[in-house]
Amino acid sequence: QVQLVESGGGVVQPGGSLRLSCAASGFPFSTYDMHWVRQPPGKGLEWVAYIRSDEGSIYYADSVKGRFTISRDNSKNTVFLQMNSLRAEDTAVYYCAKDFWSGFFDYWGPGTLVAVSS
Amino acid sequence: EIVMTQSPATLSVSPGERATLSCRASQSVGSNLAWYQQKPGQAPRLLIYGASTRAIGIPARFSGSGSGTEFTLAISSLQSEDFAVYYCQQYNNWPPWTFGQGTKVEIQ
């Protein structure tokens, strides 16, 4: 069965960095596009970043452009989110999500919490 | 950017009753609309895609309809496990992929 498991979250000071990972299994990872979606505490869902299966296309939300970098390692079935210059408003649960070839998200990981606080 | 607006923010329904949730897009998204269910402390779960196609394992009491800018998610007879927050999401014009702000379905 499809599994996505995020890791790497934690508490970081403003201006700091974190690298999130999402380990995938149960499907041919190298043929699917992947996303990161976040959810601030008590709030709604916000799409963050996208990477095509072959890394040929990458997109970011305006709120993270220039600070976050998405990447993937198809040999390790893993997608990453490098987060730099973190701000208090980046505090959220970060989910990785599998794209169903059309732009909706058919599987989600359980999420990892990132808290930016001094 | 396409803005998705859901209504109402909160819907109070008794178990066994029907619930109807609305989602409006700021411009046409065709049928490229998905619905998700999220329970406290859990990740969202895909319910509906293509505006009206149920995802694998989703009970028939969930149905989606609409196209263009107006969409509806209906739950025909609410079960206890259906009390949750529901989000719509458009995938017609991207980036960005955009979500509505959510509708909370609570027990009346």
Per-residue model confidence as pLDDT tens digits over A65-86: 999 999 999 999 999 999 999 9
- In tens, the pLDDT along B21-35 reads 999 999 999 999 999
> Is A59–B94 a contact, with Cβ atoms under 8 angstroms apart?
yes
Determine contact: A44 vs chain B, CB below 8 A: yes
Determine contact: A50 vs chain B, CB below 8 A: yes
- CB-CB neighbours of A16 under 10 Å: 15
Q: CA B23 from chain center: how many Å?
A: 7
For residues B84 and B75, the answer to whether their CB atoms sit within 8 Å is no
- In tens, the pLDDT along B33-62 reads 999 999 999 999 999 999 999 999 999 999
Residues of B in contact with A47 (CB under 8 A): 95-99
Q: What is the mean pLDDT of chain B?
A: 97
pLDDT for the residue numbered A77:
98
**pLDDT of A48 above 80:** yes
CA–CA gap between residue A77 and residue A6 (Å, rounded): 12
Chain B residues with CB within 8 Å of chain A CB: 32, 34, 36, 42-46, 49, 55, 87, 89, 91-92, 94-102
- Backbone torsions φ then ψ of A29, nearest 5 degrees: -50, -40
In this complex, the residue of A47, A60, A105 whose CB is nearest that of residue B98 is: A47
**pLDDT of A101 above 90:** no
pLDDT for the residue numbered B103:
98
Between CA B92 and CA A89, with CA B38 as vertex, the angle to 5 degrees is: 75
